[in-house]
Chains A and B, each alone.
Chain A
Amino acid sequence: MKSMEVKLSSKHLLGIKDMSVEDIELIFHTTDNFKEVINRPVKKVPSLRDITVANLFFENSTRTRISFELAEKRLSADIINFSASSSSVSKGETLLDTVNNILSMKVDMIVMRHPAPGACAYLAKKINASILNAGDGTHEHPTQALLDAYSMIEKIGPLKGKKIAIIGDILHSRVALSNIFCLTKLGAKVRVCGPPTLIPRYIQSLGVEVSYNLEETLRWCDVANILRIQLERQDIKYIPSRREYAMYYGVNKKLIEKIGKDIVIMHPGPINRGVEITSDVADSRASIILQQVENGVAIRMAALFLLAAGINN
């Protein structure tokens, strides 16, 4: 009943690794309220009406960019969009120069996706604005992990003791790393599963189990978060072919039926249908892939709202 006064402990959202459980829970609590906002006739609140957000996307993105943009618009923020392909970056400008130029136009917050791991942390040391990491190379994708965990809790309740499998290309996936940090902080048991070439060595040191056997992993888990094979990040051949990957690590209906237990199916998108997951599983009742997308907007609204609380104009 008591109205608690709270705020995030950090000015930026760079990754889950350094976030406290209290911060994660505060974001989830605020997300509950924003879910109500985005499901009503007027889906907009005026909280960020005096805030300008720059969306800097140095790497391709559809879902995350649209989700952030929608979240910002639903919070009434002013937005500028920037994508590397159509900018002066292609003329040789450095990241810091690009960002400083944008900031001199009085921008308060930056949402950035960049191919280089640590790019957001680097900027956070150099500039004044609040930075929200929308994916930095193979490092972290914090809002995705938050929305994944939130969607899991919505479906199966508190995660303490629950068994979560992350299946696929763990080596190149920032989603996997952020998921591991987030889920273990919330008390879940996490197992990664995929071909040995796509599972980084020493990943056990993050407190996760490793398995190379898909069927056995599916029998073990309550939730299967299935990841995409990131061919664009693979400079050498890690798997013989997509067809062979689908044979050994593709989740299909036959396999799910054979196991005969209810598993929540998740995928952060974009889906390669027929490779890591077949359509009949992705579109089945056990799948919460579209709920993940819906929750993504509410999670990003909560993150932007709470970070903006630290800005003094």
Chain B
Amino acid sequence: MIQGREIINSEKFEIILRRLCHQIIEEYKDFSDTCIIGLQPRGSILSDCIVRLLRDEFKIQIDTYGKIDITFYRDDYRNRDTPLRASPTHMNFIVDGKKVLLIDDVLFTGRSVHAAIAALQDYGRPSNIELLAFIDRRFNREFPIQADFLGISVDALDEAYVKVKWNEALTSAQVFMFPQKPTV
């Protein structure tokens, strides 16, 4: 097993998380016309965490919160060695005319976000879509997609692998960087 290097410890992770919450509160105020949508499966752990903080610590009412799976929208699902297993989509609202905040943990090539934008349009025509990503691998982009709210930027080679490792309660995490994707 290849050893990963910790690039963010849990203390710093929580500071960044709260900073992101403040930034989105500044932008969306009471979230009355905003939908928060996490990307399944890993982005939605982060979105769960952010929504919980907004509700519990910042006492903001979040009514339209969903999770979207993009497996069926990926342009590369047949070109991978093996296809990804789909995760459930939980969307009990439509996004027509609403602002949408998409949340993902790692912004890498931009293909997942591109697929998520395509998937979102099947739930109506949003007035605008913004992206929150905890980690931005800014030198590895394949599509012209940028995050509007950003945790940290990481400069890494294409073959490197950045992983957000959550604690058991899914309340905090550490971020590790591996020289290449671990096989297990």
**Chain A residues near B (Cβ < 8 Å):** 1-7, 26, 29-30, 32-34, 36-37, 40-42, 44-47, 75, 305-306, 308-313
Q: How far, in angstroms, from A311 to B83 measured CA to CA in the complex?
A: 11
A41-B123, A45-B122 known, 11 other contacts, Cβ within 8 Å: A2-B41, A3-B41, A6-B85, A29-B86, A33-B88, A34-B72, A42-B121, A47-B74, A308-B78, A309-B77, A312-B79
Q: B45: CB under 8 A from chain A?
A: yes
Q: B47: CB under 8 A from chain A?
A: no
Whether the Cβ atoms of A6 and B73 lie closer than 8 Å is no
Q: How far, in angstroms, from A99 to B56 measured CA to CA in the complex?
A: 62
Whether the Cβ atoms of B72 and A47 lie closer than 8 Å is yes
Whether the Cβ atoms of A1 and B84 lie closer than 8 Å is no
**Chain B residues near A (Cβ < 8 Å):** 41-42, 45, 69, 71-74, 77-89, 91, 94, 118-119, 121-124
Whether the Cβ atoms of B77 and A30 lie closer than 8 Å is no
Q: How far, in angstroms, from A122 to B73 measured CA to CA in the complex?
A: 34
Q: A42-B123, A46-B72 are in contact. Are A33 and B89 (CB under 8 A)?
A: yes
Contact partners of B87 in chain A: CB under 8 A: 3, 33
Question: Please, could you name 25 A-B residue pairs with CB atoms under 8 Å apart, sorted by A?
Answer: A1-B45, A3-B41, A3-B84, A5-B80, A6-B82, A6-B85, A26-B85, A29-B85, A30-B86, A33-B71, A33-B86, A37-B89, A40-B122, A40-B123, A42-B121, A42-B123, A45-B72, A45-B73, A47-B74, A75-B72, A305-B72, A306-B83, A309-B83, A312-B78, A312-B79
Q: How far, in angstroms, from A40 to B118 measured CA to CA in the complex?
A: 15
Contact partners of B124 in chain A: CB under 8 A: 41
Q: How far, in angstroms, from A46 to B69 measured CA to CA in the complex?
A: 13
Q: A33-B69, A41-B94, A41-B122 are in contact. Are A313 and B85 (CB under 8 A)?
A: no
Whether the Cβ atoms of A5 and B78 lie closer than 8 Å is no
Whether the Cβ atoms of B122 and A5 lie closer than 8 Å is no
Whether the Cβ atoms of A46 and B78 lie closer than 8 Å is no
A97 CB to closest chain B CB, in angstroms?
Answer: 29
Whether the Cβ atoms of B91 and A311 lie closer than 8 Å is no
Q: How far, in angstroms, from A198 to B49 measured CA to CA in the complex?
A: 60
Secondary structure type dominating chain A contacts: loop
Contact partners of B118 in chain A: CB under 8 A: 46
Instruction: State the 4 A-B residue pairs at the shortest beta-carbon distance, nearest first.
Output: A42-B122, A45-B72, A309-B83, A5-B82
Contact partners of A41 in chain B: CB under 8 A: 94, 122-124
Instruction: Give the residue name and chain of the A residue nearest to B41 (CB).
Output: A3
Instruction: Give the residue name and chain of the A residue nearest to B170 (CB).
Output: A1
Contact partners of A313 in chain B: CB under 8 A: 78
Q: A40-B91, A41-B123 are in contact. Are A47 and B41 (CB under 8 A)?
A: no
Q: How far, in angstroms, from A41 to B92 measured CA to CA in the complex?
A: 11
Q: How far, in angstroms, from A223 to B119 measured CA to CA in the complex?
A: 38
Q: How far, in angstroms, from A29 to B83 measured CA to CA in the complex?
A: 14
Q: How far, in angstroms, from A304 to B120 measured CA to CA in the complex?
A: 23
Whether the Cβ atoms of A33 and B72 lie closer than 8 Å is yes
Whether the Cβ atoms of B89 and A36 lie closer than 8 Å is yes
Whether the Cβ atoms of B85 and A4 lie closer than 8 Å is yes
Whether the Cβ atoms of A5 and B79 lie closer than 8 Å is no
Contact partners of B41 in chain A: CB under 8 A: 1-3
Contact partners of A46 in chain B: CB under 8 A: 72-73, 118
Q: How far, in angstroms, from A36 to B74 measured CA to CA in the complex?
A: 17
Partner of A36, one of B82, B83, B85, B88: B88
Contact partners of A40 in chain B: CB under 8 A: 91, 122-123
Q: How far, in angstroms, from A36 to B73 measured CA to CA in the complex?
A: 14
Contact partners of B80 in chain A: CB under 8 A: 5
B86 CB to closest chain A CB, in angstroms?
Answer: 4
Q: How far, in angstroms, from A32 to B80 measured CA to CA in the complex?
A: 22
Whether the Cβ atoms of A3 and B85 lie closer than 8 Å is yes
Instruction: Give the residue name and chain of the A residue nearest to B75 (CB).
Output: A46
Whether the Cβ atoms of B94 and A3 lie closer than 8 Å is no
A109 CB to closest chain B CB, in angstroms?
Answer: 12
Instruction: Give the residue name and chain of the B residue nearest to A42 (CB).
Output: B122
